[in-house]
């Protein structure tokens, strides 16, 4: 299954408001999509990883970036563009904002998934329907019902449940790095930065998975649809409407004529 076919299936069974997005880590500049925008070169300023995904899912742009294009210091570390200084590992970024102590801040930073320098490369995001390269990971933003639909589809051939972790920080790492490193899909609660910088809305969640699982997901979406798990969620409509007394009186007048 290619990215275009996956996109068609997602639009049929999930019907998201924004484009499903492919994410790829490319080692060489020559491998970048020909039409990809480079933030500093084409926009005139660096952006966050979550903004790149936002451009792809809302504007339909392909974005290619490395550390020189990236404005977020936490993502610089997570995606392997910069080493982890003691100021970071000791928890100073989290302490006072997300945690009550440096010790707990250090735990939070340690928990963020990270690429090594060898794993790092150009971060490329693009709408699946315009894919020029194969994604490593696919991320889909939607409401809770749509994410539920994706979870059900992914579990159709597996059973059980999907383990995910939630920290309210650095969801860019959970979206891309964790599926690449673990091979497991992730349910994503968008972080504060994703909401602040990428305009992710209060009603939105996300679901990310390794692209090699695309055919399995689509088979699951088809199977669960046949089983009655669908989106939009059907409303119960098989009941007789009740009307105010005056409406009932008028209906009775209709009956008197017969």
Q: According to the model, what pLDDT value does residue 258 have?
A: 58
pLDDT at 257: 65
**For residue 235, what pLDDT is reported?**
87
- This prediction has a pTM of 0.91
Q: State the DSSP code for 112.
A: S
Helix axes 214-226, 3-13, angle to 10 degrees: 20
Number of domains in the chain: 1
CA atoms within a 13 Å half-sphere pointing along the CA-CB vector of 154: 25
**10-residue mean pLDDT series, the chain (258 residues):** 96 97 97 96 98 98 98 97 96 95 97 95 97 97 98 98 92 97 96 96 97 98 96 91 94 79
Provide the residue range defining the domain that includes 239: 3-256
Within its chain, how far is the Cα of 12 from the centroid?
18
Please report the pLDDT score of residue 255 as a whole number: 74
For residues 142 and 11, is the Cβ–Cβ distance under 8 A?
no
């Amino acid at each position: 299954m290619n990215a275009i076919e996956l996109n068609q299936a997602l639009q049929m069974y999930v019907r998201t408001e924004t484009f499903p997005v492919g994410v790829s880590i490319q080692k060489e500049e020559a491998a970048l999509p020909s039409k990809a925008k480079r933030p500093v070169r084409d926009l005139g300023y660096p952006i966050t990883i979550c903004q790149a995904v936002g451009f792809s899912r809302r504007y339909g742009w392909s974005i290619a970036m490395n550390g020189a294009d990236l404005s977020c210091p936490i993502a610089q570390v997570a995606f392997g563009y910069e080493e982890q200084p003691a100021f970071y590992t000791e928890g100073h970024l989290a302490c006072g904002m997300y945690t009550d102590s440096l010790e707990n801040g250090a735990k939070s930073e340690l928990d963020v998934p990270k690429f090594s320098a060898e794993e790092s490369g150009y971060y490329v995001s693009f709408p699946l329907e315009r894919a020029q390269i194969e994604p490593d990971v696919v991320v889909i933003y939607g409401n809770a019902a749509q994410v539920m639909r994706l979870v059900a589809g992914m579990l159709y051939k597996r059973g059980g449940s999907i383990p995910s972790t939630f920290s309210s920080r650095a969801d860019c790492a959970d979206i891309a790095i964790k599926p690449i490193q673990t091979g497991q899909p992730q349910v994503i609660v968008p972080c504060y930065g994703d909401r602040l910088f990428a305009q992710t809305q209060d009603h939105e969640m996300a679901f990310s998975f390794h692209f090699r699982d695309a055919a399995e997901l689509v088979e699951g979406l088809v199977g669960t649809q046949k089983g009655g798990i669908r989106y939009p969620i059907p409303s119960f409509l098989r009941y007789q409407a009740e009307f105010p007394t005056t409406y009932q009186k008028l209906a009775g007048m209709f009956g008197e004529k017969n």
